[in-house]
Structure 1
Amino acid sequence: MIGLEQEGKLKFAGKDTVFRDIFSIKKYLYQMYQALHPEDTTIEQNDLDIVTLQSILLNGVYNDLGFLVRGSQLMILVEAQSTWSPNIIIRALMYLMNTYQDYFSQHKIMLYGNGKASMPKPELYVIYTGDRGSHPDVLSLQEEFFSDTDCCIEAKVKVLYLGDGHDIINQYIGFCRVFNEQIALHGRTPEAAEEIIRICCDRNLLKEYLTERKREVERIMLTLFDQEYVWNLERENIRSEGIAEGRNEIIQKMLAANMSIDNIAKIVKMPVEQIAAIGKKMAVL
């Protein structure tokens, strides 16, 4: 079950999950690389390998997107961020070290021998979907956290904002703006999900992706909307009745809200049969 005792532990919002989904598809990952490195005219889709850290929904060390270019030439990590924080660079550094650890393990590179290890050159990016304001083009660990003293390490994250072009990064930021507008108008509802997709297609924002995967994108958004709904119920239940008696009541509230049994089962990590039994019991009462 989603951690009742851990308020604020749900990582993904709908936009973030769409980000991970779209750039797990090679042709869109290829478009991202072209936007980051338009000077590289020889790159092909097969030159890109996804190395995104994987985890479950609850907090852990995992990132939005990581990929290698031409095997081991370049390692690119990209985060999508809607809220500004200097801590972005700390998270990026953590993701980088964990991705390197996976890389060394996969390639059986020994770090305790005499030979110098080979490693891909890193590039760190954050796609910032909010207003640019006075935020910098590059976040520096040393400048942000150790500006008045010497520091033995440095890391830099390039920040990407909404620009004038129509590359896939600008399209994704545009999608996020539409997402926020429609959630403000309709709440986290099926109507909002449908409107987000319709408006973005009309504006040619991720149109090909949204058309190809319309049902999947709707499912992603609705599942996350449901999870947020459940989390709010859980939080309310913690405050009013305690954890021990909370789960069945939460399930009953979800059933009363006409959420599907399959979705409820996935969210609370229970068999479909148990959810159905709770529903039958409600019908008898």
Structure 2
Amino acid sequence: MVDGKGTAVNKEYKDRLFNYIFGREENREWTLSLYNAINGSHYSDASLIEFNTIEEILYMGMRNDTSFIVSGEINVYEHQSTFNPNMPLRLLGYVDRLFSAYISTNRLNKYGEQLIMLPYPKLVVFYNGIKEQEDEVILRLSDSFGEAHRNDADIEVRVRMLNVNYGRNSEIMENCRPLYDYAWLIEQIRQNAKEYGIIRAAGRAIELMPDDFVIKGFLMKHKAEVEGMLDTEYKEAEIRELFMEDGRAQERANTERERKRADEECERADQERKRADEECERADQESKRADQESKRAEKAEARVRELEAMLAENRKL
């Protein structure tokens, strides 16, 4: 697969490491641990989990992340390394696909007179980007509707975004050791990526991982796949950043053009105001001259009347 700039993307490793750890049948116990940690529950039977991950390839080879049904819920877990306020819209599409698959699998009739019962959705985004975010943020679809119409909308989607960077959400990390191990791993890779490159940094982080980390054996067993996934994931993050930077550069250029146009408009307006002020000043001067001429004319007329009166008086004499 090649992106729009001609950069090759490795199709072999189209999964994310987060999903590779928590979205596999063999790691059901870890998935259940993650579920319990973020919900404050205490389920112990991992067989309750029924995976329903959508296998569709999405942006630049990435699939959506883990989705599963447990205790009447349909849980959709998505990992994000960049903040995306549009996750409610994206996850709404995922849930629609999952519901369609659920209805088809269970041979339910959505056109019939009988009400069909569905598992209720719980939507969670696990964020570990470098941009600072709160431990927990609630994203809402209604934020996209505009403030004037949010209360009028007949649909809402609520997504819980959890910051899973190392050192964040300590209570959740304490209750889900695999998540803590994952956060530690990503932090180590970030600290060493510039010096060693992603693949070597990932390999070193796995080897230096303490032996009591529960995911170490799994990562060592799948070391090549993990390194490939991380390499692909980071490269694609760089590509996304390039796209975003291109967009930001274009936005800056558009803003600069708009600013120049606004400055030119202001300059023209200033010139028009100056011309108008000059016209007003000339009009004032003309008005003053007219007033002066009028006063002189009145004085002359008064003097004429005075002389006429004097002449009339002399004739009488």
Aligned to 1:225: 231
What RMSD over aligned residues (CA atoms) do the two structures have, in Å?
3.4
Aligned to 1:141: 141
TM-score when scaled to structure 2? 0.60
Listed one character per residue, the Cα deviations across residues 215-265 of structure 1 (whole Å, up to 9, x for unaligned) are 413323236637959x99xxxxxxxxxxxxxxxxxxxxxxxxxxxxxxxxx
- Residue 153 (structure 1) aligned with residue 155 (structure 2): yes
Counterpart Cα distance in 2 of 1:135 and 1:33: 17
Aligned to 2:31: 29
* Post-superposition offset of 1:98: 1.0
Aligned to 2:210: 202
Which of 1 and 2 has greater Rg? Answer: 2
Aligned to 2:270: none
- Residue 183 (structure 1) aligned with residue 193 (structure 2): yes
Aligned to 2:110: 111
Counterpart Cα distance in 2 of 1:219 and 1:60: 15
TM-score when scaled to structure 1? 0.66
Change (3 A) 1:61 1:17: closer
Counterpart Cα distance in 2 of 1:57 and 1:223: 15
* Post-superposition offset of 1:179: 2.6
Counterpart Cα distance in 1 of 2:210 and 2:49: 30
Counterpart Cα distance in 2 of 1:155 and 1:226: 31
- Residue 47 (structure 1) aligned with residue 48 (structure 2): yes
- Residue 163 (structure 1) aligned with residue 174 (structure 2): no
List runs of 5+ in structure 2 lacking aligned partners. 240-317
State the one-letter code of the partner of 1:100. F
Counterpart Cα distance in 2 of 1:89 and 1:65: 16
State the one-letter code of the partner of 2:31. L
- Residue 120 (structure 1) aligned with residue 119 (structure 2): yes
* More deviation, 210-219/153-162: 210-219
Counterpart Cα distance in 2 of 1:219 and 1:114: 49
* Post-superposition offset of 1:174: 3.1
List runs of 5+ in structure 1 lacking aligned partners. 233-285
* Post-superposition offset of 1:148: 2.2
Listed one character per residue, the Cα deviations across residues 104-130 of structure 1 (whole Å, up to 9, x for unaligned) are 111111111111111001100011113
Aligned to 1:102: 101
Contact 2:92-2:157 at 8 Å conserved across structures = yes
Counterpart Cα distance in 2 of 1:139 and 1:13: 32
Change (3 A) 1:45 1:226: closer
Counterpart Cα distance in 1 of 2:112 and 2:74: 23
* Post-superposition offset of 1:137: 1.9
Change (3 A) 1:213 1:176: closer
Aligned to 1:241: none
* Post-superposition offset of 1:81: 0.9
Contact 1:53-1:62 at 8 Å conserved across structures = yes
State the one-letter code of the partner of 2:142. Q
Alignment of 1:249-260 (within 5 A): none
Counterpart Cα distance in 1 of 2:77 and 2:58: 19
Q: Which has the higher contact order (CA 8 A, sep 6+)?
A: 1
Secondary structure of 2:74 counterpart: strand
- Residue 212 (structure 1) aligned with residue 218 (structure 2): yes
Counterpart Cα distance in 2 of 1:65 and 1:30: 12
* Post-superposition offset of 1:203: 8.9
State the one-letter code of the partner of 2:169. G
Contact 1:142-1:154 at 8 Å conserved across structures = yes
Contact 1:20-1:65 at 8 Å conserved across structures = yes
